[in-house]
């Protein structure tokens, strides 16, 4: 009886484990090796398949990653959209498989009839960024689709089949191969796994993280440096330039720390996703900017013998923060991949700030040289007057 009871308990434990949601494979917990991030995903109901996607309403493009697991070496996979009906005929497919030489073959194919083989050809809509990978019995198709003339509620199909001599053969016409179709609402961002709220929250946090860092490190820091270097040239601006500089840089630091903290939170919520360079630069920015704040508290007086060393320290770290901040913001653009208008907008701001700095730099040198010449003339004049006085 004891062994029988143990056997029942063990069997129930195994069954519970197998059917526990925490052990089920879902798209919501998947992390791409290439650090690609998509705003939504679906666990497709059959054929061990998953679809990750991001829809851009302004450009009407759909970025997809179709994953098909448990794929043998001699099998092909495909994912398709049918703009005209729910069936196979008329579907616009993307096909991928590993060839005999080990290289991946990925191409587009328009299905015109039930007897049509998966021949390579153009689709009824543009496709770009087409690629495929095969790792650990999983094939992933990456692509960007132009949906300018298509509805946002799409008929999707997915399939797999045998490959013979680098040529896809007909797929099975029974079982799950007849059930591999459904609809995809690219605006709904629906997930079959619970996690849609988390995805929306992460997207919002990514945007907040990007905006905070762009404003702090990318705009306010350069603006504060411009105030310190050029406004002080005007005698009447002293000490107003100093308070403007401190206010601008302190505000930038506070906003930047908020953006940095948001980035750390995003990292903790995205296991397996690492943007190493962006993260390292962000950490360096935080510590260097913190050293700048500390330096402000121990700032020597102008006539102090160590003031020159403090100036070198302060200026070097300050310009370093600005350069690293701008570099990291463009790294962030590559990660978030927003509309090009935002990248152009920020680039325009940087160009304007650089142009203003260049004009003020020229003017500053003009003023400095003019003052030196005036001082030299006055010195020579005083020297001559003094010389005549001794005669």
What percent of the chain stands above pLDDT 70? Answer: 84
Closest CA to 127 of 82, 153, 94, 78: 94
Q: Are strands 138-146 and 61-68 parallel, antiparallel or unpaired?
A: antiparallel
b/e per residue 318-331 (b: at least 16 CB within 10 A):
beebbebbbbbbeb
Q: Which residue has the higher pLDDT, 85 or 67?
A: 67
Q: Which residue has the higher pLDDT, 4 or 250?
A: 250
Confidence category of residue 306, pLDDT binned at 50, 70, 90:
confident
pLDDT at 46 over 50: yes
What's the confidence (pLDDT) of residue 97? 93
Per the structure block, which two tokens stand in for 296? 């402000």
User: What's the full length of the chain, in residues?
Assistant: 391
Alpha helices (runs of H) in the chain, residue ranges in sequence order? 2-19, 196-215, 221-230, 240-268, 276-297, 307-336, 340-390
What percent of the chain stands above pLDDT 90? Answer: 31
Residue 95 · residue 76 · CB < 8 Å: yes
pLDDT in tens, 22-36: 334 578 778 887 778
pLDDT in tens, 319-360: 999 999 999 999 888 877 777 788 889 999 999 999 999 998
In this prediction the pTM is 0.51
Q: CB 10: neighbour CB atoms within 10 A?
A: 10
* In the chain, domain spans: 25-185, 196-377
State the DSSP string of 76-94. EEEEEEESS-SSSTT-EEE
pLDDT at 9 over 80: no
What's the confidence (pLDDT) of residue 352? 94
Q: Which CATH superfamily is domain 25-185 in?
A: Cellobiose dehydrogenase, cytochrome domain (2.60.40.1210)
- Please state the rounded mean pLDDT for residues 205-230: 89
What's the confidence (pLDDT) of residue 380? 74
Torsion of CA 324, 329, 330, 331, to 10 degrees: 80
Return d(Cα 210, Cα 339) in angstroms, integer.
Answer: 13
Average pLDDT over the chain, rounded to whole? 81
- Does the domain spanning 196-377 belong to CATH 1.20.120.1770? yes
pLDDT at 95 over 90: yes
Q: Which residue has the higher pLDDT, 385 or 354?
A: 354
Return d(Cα 308, Cα 196) in angstroms, integer.
Answer: 56
Return d(Cα 82, Cα 98) in angstroms, integer.
Answer: 25
State the DSSP string of 123-153. -SS-EEEEEEEEETTEEEEEEEEE-TTS-SE
């Amino acid at each position: 009886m004891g062994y029988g009871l143990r056997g029942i308990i063990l069997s129930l434990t195994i069954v519970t484990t197998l059917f526990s949601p925490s052990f089920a494979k879902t798209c919501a917990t998947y992390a791409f090796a290439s650090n690609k991030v998509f705003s939504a995903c679906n666990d497709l109901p059959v054929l061990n398949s998953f679809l990750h996607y991001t829809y851009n309403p302004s450009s009407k493009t759909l970025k997809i990653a179709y994953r098909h697991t448990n794929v043998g070496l001699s099998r092909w996979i495909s994912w398709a959209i049918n703009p005209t009906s729910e069936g196979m005929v008329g579907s616009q497919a993307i096909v991928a498989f590993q060839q005999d030489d080990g290289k991946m073959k990925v191409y587009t194919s328009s299905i015109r009839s039930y007897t049509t083989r998966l021949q390579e050809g153009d689709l009824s809509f543009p496709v770009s960024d087409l690629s495929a990978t095969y790792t650990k019995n999983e094939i992933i198709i990456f692509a960007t689709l132009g949906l300018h003339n298509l509805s946002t509620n799409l008929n999707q199909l997915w399939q797999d089949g045998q490959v013979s001599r680098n040529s896809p053969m007909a797929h099975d016409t029974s079982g799950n191969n007849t059930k591999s179709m459904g609809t995809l609402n690219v605006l709904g961002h629906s997930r079959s796994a619970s996690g849609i709220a988390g995805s929306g929250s992460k997207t919002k946090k990514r945007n907040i993280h990007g905006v905070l860092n762009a404003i702090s490190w990318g705009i306010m820091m350069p603006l504060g440096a411009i105030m310190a270097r050029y406004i002080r040239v005007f005698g009447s601006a002293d000490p107003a330039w100093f308070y403007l500089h401190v206010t601008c840089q302190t505000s930038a630091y506070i906003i930047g720390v908020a953006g940095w903290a948001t980035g750390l939170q995003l990292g903790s919520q995205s296991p397996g996703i690492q943007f190493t360079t962006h993260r390292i630069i962000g950490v360096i920015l935080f510590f260097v900017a913190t050293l700048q704040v500390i330096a402000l508290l121990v700032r020597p007086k102008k006539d102090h013998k160590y003031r020159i060393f403090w100036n070198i320290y302060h200026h070097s770290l300050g310009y370093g923060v600005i350069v690293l901040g701008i570099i990291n913001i463009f790294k962030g653009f590559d990660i978030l991949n927003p509309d090009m208008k935002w990248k152009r907008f920020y680039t325009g701001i940087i160009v304007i700030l650089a142009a203003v700095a260049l004009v003020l730099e020229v003017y500053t040198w003009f003023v400095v040289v003019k003052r030196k010449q005036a001082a030299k003339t006055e010195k020579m004049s005083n020297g001559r007057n003094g010389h005549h006085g001794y005669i």
